Chains A and B, each alone.
Chain A
Amino acid sequence: MFLKTLRIRNFMPFKGWHQIDFPGSDTKNVVIVFGDNMRGKTSLLNAIRWAFYQNALDRYGEKIPLQKLVNSDAAGEDEWDLEVQVSFEHDNKQYEISSRAEKRRGVGTPNRPEDFVVATDLQINGEVVRGDRVAHEINRVVPEQISRFFLFDGELLQEYESLLADDGDQGKRIKEAIEQALGVPTLISGKNELRALRKPYDRQWQQDLKKNQEVKSFMEELSALTKRSEDLEEAKAKLQDQLSSAKHQYQELQQQVNAAEARYKQKAELDQYVSSRTKVSQQIEQIELRKLESVRDAWLDVLRPDLERQTRDLRSQAAADALVLAEIAKAPHLREMAQSSLDSGVCSLCQSELSTESRQILLGVHGSGETAGEIDRVATRFAESNQLANRLDGVRYPQAKKRIAELDATAMDLSLEETRLASEIDRLRDELQGFDSDETNRVRRAAENANAAIRTLEAKFSQVDEELEKINTKQQSLRLVINQNESAKNQRSGKIVDLISTAEGIFASAVGMMRDDLRMDIQEKATSAFKQLTTDTSYKGLRINQNYGLTIVDEKDRDVSLRSAGAEQIVALSLIDGLNQTGRSTGPVIMDTPFGRLDPRHRSRVLQYLPKSANQVVLFVHEGEVDPERDLMQINSKIGAVFALERVSSSQTKVVRK
């Protein structure tokens, strides 16, 4: 089987029509679709799933209700119909499947799946397939039970990894799916239906043989066993019903538990935010205290301009005084001479009488009539000015205004943070309204009880089965004995019973043999894939367990128990590949984010291996997972088409061919 086209309309983030064409070549059989997380890669996977089986799954593997599949913008415009069309080829026949959902007439705004009408059309080679046969035809080519293996969501790799635990619930479900894929149920239903077929003939034979005295007592014993067997079958049917409803109940409770876990996480988030907010509030308080503290000596800041001006004035005065003092210091002898001339009235130099002008000049030299007292005064003033200026210079100003501004800025940031936290807290409180952790614990306990009930029922079921087997065996031996009797042997009804029960036994033991064969087959194919994917040369291969879980085996045949997340992923991919090859002839492999946890070397190997392992490979990846330049270069020759999912808005994506 290989895909040719996918067309989608109004499905999840895809508004209007979008199309992906898959190249038809054998050599270029890889299609890459790039998209960031939340852009719609998983939606494409779901679109294919929805086209085939009319269901889409969320990350927990639960069905997404139909009204949530409609593109929200389209829904906003009251356009509530969506459609997915897939065309593919299989066994040389062209298949066109188209699934549509429309709002039911009379419905205003749909809020549950029942508000829609869903229809699926299938054409094979242009001929329309009758409605009731569509599911059958689709399942022949792409059975829903194994869809998880070729519509592969990388996020669900954990499921496969849990196969290692023999007892896990997940593991059992996967095991059933695998066996379904591998055809084991065909033999099982063969066995069961042969047994069902035998019963009327058994009764007939017993009737016929009632007249045979020789075998009468054996027949009576056989009759009794048959009756007991029928009672047990009835009990079994009842148990089956109980088991179904217990499982259903458990599922519902488990859903509630899952929802509750999400709420617990939110509660933890809320507590975290509340604690953060308290811290921030405390920090804000601290800042207020520090602001207050800054004001302690702010009185000095108030006086700073005046004090500094005063200091400058003092310095100027001192500088002026210094000049004067310097002048005075420069020429003491001139002053002495001028002084004595003035005192005597005669010039000391030339001994002539002092004229008025001379007297003036001498006064000038003396220095504007300054007396010793004047000089002292200036000197003192000079000293005092400097002293005071020095004291004033020594004043430390707190610069409170600057501090306060800085603290205010910090307080502003903190306040914004506080507001943000407050709104997150409100949001979470709203969402958690009605969240009752007691209630949650109650539900969790109820789920555990339901699980225990299931186990009990399953145990009873096994018991009944065991007893039925025992009865069956006894019946076989009785029949053998009875058939020694000539006339008994020749009863037609007896012959039929004999034939049916022989066939039944053969089918029964064939089931065990086929399981073993298949396990070995898967082991072989998975190992071969594993060897091509792993980079660790000490790993010899893989070993398979009863639940189709795989263990890595080293060269000494020892189980490698601790594996890295990357190794887990490789093993899971090997299992998928092994299953794909064992379980079906050819078909596409469609993988969503398969490379999440792989290092570049493993990634490179997986990329190189995939195109060989299936006839068509579609990879949905995001750029963080795969480096378009480096990783894709290696398989460039195999890439037939590349698409990108581009954001139109938060609620819309478009498909673009690159």
Chain B
Amino acid sequence: MSEPTQSTQAVDPAQIGIGEVAHYNLERLYADKHFPEMRNAYKFAIAYALSKGARPTKLESSRKNVFSISTIDPDGLLRLAIETLYPVGDESPYRIAERLADWGVGEVTRLVYEEYKSIGDLLPDA
């Protein structure tokens, strides 16, 4: 009896998005020079959410497109990370990424603007 392997392909979206409140905060983080580009902030938020074991089930606000997949994950590392650290199931990792990013941006925004952390502060020690 063969079990379904993870190679059951869910269909990847062409665009990846985020909730519009998180999008606003993403722009804010970028404008305040916490990240060189918005995409770096986006991925950071995802990574942060993953590291905290978050399992968000939905976006906090209404969705809007932000990046194309090829822009956000040219080397496939994002996908690799999500597949490695998250129970992907039969969803596209990128759909999961959107919820993680949405959650992550909310957290990072709070830490940066209310607790005055720098991005460096949020990194684990070497």
Contact = CB atoms under 8 A, between A and B. Distances in A.
**Does A touch B (CB under 8 Å) in the complex?**
yes
Interface of A: 288, 291-293, 295-307, 310, 373, 388, 391-392, 395, 399-402, 404-405
21 contacts: A288-B33, A291-B120, A295-B34, A295-B36, A295-B44, A296-B40, A299-B44, A299-B46, A299-B48, A301-B123, A301-B124, A302-B122, A302-B123, A303-B51, A306-B50, A307-B85, A395-B77, A395-B80, A401-B123, A401-B124, A401-B126
Identify which of B1, B34, B51, B123 gathers the most chain A CB atoms within 10 Å of its CB: B123
Contact of A302 (B37, B44, B77, B80): B44
A399 B40 contact: no
Identify which of A295, A310, A400, A402 gathers the most chain B CB atoms within 10 Å of its CB: A295
Contacts of B33: 288, 292
Given A299-B46, A299-B48, A303-B47, 13 more contacts: A292-B35, A292-B36, A297-B40, A302-B48, A302-B123, A303-B85, A304-B124, A305-B51, A306-B50, A306-B85, A388-B84, A400-B123, A401-B120
Nearest to A400: B123
A303 B35 CA distance: 17
Interface in B62-88: 77, 80-81, 84-85
B11 interface: no
A305 B47 CA distance: 11
Given A302-B44, A303-B47, A391 B36 contact: no
Majority-rule SS of B interface residues: helix
Contacts of A304: 124
A401 B121 CA distance: 8
Contacts of B31: none
Contacts of A291: 120
Contacts of B123: 298, 301-302, 400-401, 404
B82 to A, nearest CB: 10
Given A295-B36, A299-B47, A399 B85 contact: no
Interface size class of B (residues with CB under 8 A): 20 to 34
B40 A299 contact: yes
Contacts of B48: 299, 302
A305 B125 CA distance: 10
A402 B126 contact: yes
B43 interface: yes
A300 B77 contact: yes
Interface in B86-100: none
Contacts of B10: none
B40 A303 contact: no
Contacts of B37: 296
Contact of A303 (B1, B50, B119, B122): B50
A391 B75 CA distance: 12
A304 B50 CA distance: 11
Contacts of A303: 47, 50-51, 81, 85
Nearest to B45: A299
B124 A302 contact: yes
Given A292-B35, A299-B40, A401 B125 contact: yes
A310 B83 CA distance: 11
Contact of A295 (B35, B51, B84, B126): B35
Contacts of B1: 373
Nearest to B50: A303
Contact of B84 (A298, A392, A405): A392
A299 B38 CA distance: 12
Contacts of B35: 292, 295-296
A303 B49 CA distance: 10
Contact of A310 (B47, B84, B119, B126): B84
A299 B126 contact: no
Contacts of A297: 40
B126 A307 contact: no
Contacts of A404: 120, 123
Interface in B9-35: 33-35
Contacts of A400: 120, 123
B27 to A, nearest CB: 16
A411 to B, nearest CB: 12
A564 to B, nearest CB: 59
A399 B126 contact: yes
The 4 closest A-B pairs by CB, nearest first: A302-B47, A299-B47, A299-B43, A401-B123
A298 B35 CA distance: 10
Given A302-B47, A305-B51, A295 B40 contact: yes
A317 B84 CA distance: 15
Contacts of B122: 302
B36 A293 contact: yes
A303 B86 CA distance: 12
A436 B23 CA distance: 57
A357 to B, nearest CB: 30
Given A296-B40, A395-B77, A305 B84 contact: no
B106 to A, nearest CB: 16
A266 to B, nearest CB: 39
Contact of A298 (B40, B46, B125, B126): B40
Contacts of A298: 40, 44, 119, 123
Contact of B119 (A288, A295, A373): A295
A292 B126 CA distance: 19
Nearest to A291: B120
B22 to A, nearest CB: 16
Contacts of A299: 40, 43-44, 46-48
B102 to A, nearest CB: 15
A108 B119 CA distance: 63
A307 B78 CA distance: 12
B40 to A, nearest CB: 5
Contacts of A306: 50-51, 85
A388 B7 CA distance: 13
A342 B55 CA distance: 49
Identify which of A299, A306, A395, A405 gathers the most chain B CB atoms within 10 Å of its CB: A299
A303 B47 CA distance: 6
A384 B40 CA distance: 30
B67 to A, nearest CB: 14
B110 to A, nearest CB: 16
A295 B50 CA distance: 18
A292 B124 CA distance: 17
Contact of A307 (B34, B44, B84): B84
Nearest to A314: B84
A329 B123 CA distance: 46
Contacts of B47: 299-300, 302-303
Contacts of A301: 123-124
A191 B41 CA distance: 100
A395 B47 CA distance: 14
